[in-house]
Structure 1
Amino acid sequence: MQLGTRWPFGTQPPRSVPMQIRPGIAAAEADTVDGAGRTWTLTWLEGRPIAELDDGTTVTVEPSPGADADDDW
């Protein structure tokens, strides 16, 4: 896992937050009744971005089908 960045709920995500995950973050914020004082944390797991709100809400990108086909394990 690689640590990314943190930012406050309800603010524009930093430029380091990938575009493909931003709609999910916006949707999660729209569904949250009170996000005051909360923060998001962006991490990377197996090359995929994961944004987690400190209340446990998680937004991620689903792996594409066959994404592991080229792994040399």
Structure 2
Amino acid sequence: MIQLGTRWLVGDEPPSRLPQPVIDAIYEVEGELAEQGVDASEWSWTLTWLEGKPVVELDDETTVEYDPETDSAIVTAPEG
């Protein structure tokens, strides 16, 4: 089954079909950006599905991937 991806703005509610650890990680990343004073109001998250697992990428290339074996999210920050 192919699942279509979606986009949403930083600060908006993530799609409810995402696993809770991924949603939690998205909110954590957004909180860190706010703490750092980054204006991410125009940034978007992009959700794609790879082999049935969600991969969420922010415009700055921060990615959040889901590990179903441990029911956890892996956040990868952009290098720079």
Identify whether the pair has TM-score above 0.5, normalized to the shorter chain.
Answer: yes
Give runs of aligned pairs for residues 1-73 of structure 1, distance below 5 A: 3-32=4-33, 33-64=38-69
Give the total of aligned pairs: 65
Counterparts of 1:9 and 1:64 in 2: how far apart (Å)? 28
CA RMSD of aligned residues (A): 2.0
Partner deviation per Cα, 1:5-39 (whole Å, 9 max, x = no partner): 10000111133433331011011111113212000
Which structure 1 residue ranges, 5 or more long, are not aligned?
Answer: 66-73
Q: Report the structure number with the largest CA radius of gyration.
A: 1
Which structure 2 residue ranges, 5 or more long, are not aligned?
Answer: 71-80
Q: Which runs of 4+ in 1 moved over 2 A?
A: 14-20
One-letter code aligned to 1:56? E
- Tell me, what secondary structure is at the counterpart of 2:49? strand
Counterparts of 1:3 and 1:41 in 2: how far apart (Å)? 11
Is 1:2–1:45's contact at 8 Å kept on the other side of the alignment?
Answer: no
Q: TM-score, length-normalised on structure 2? A: 0.67
Q: State the identity %.
A: 48
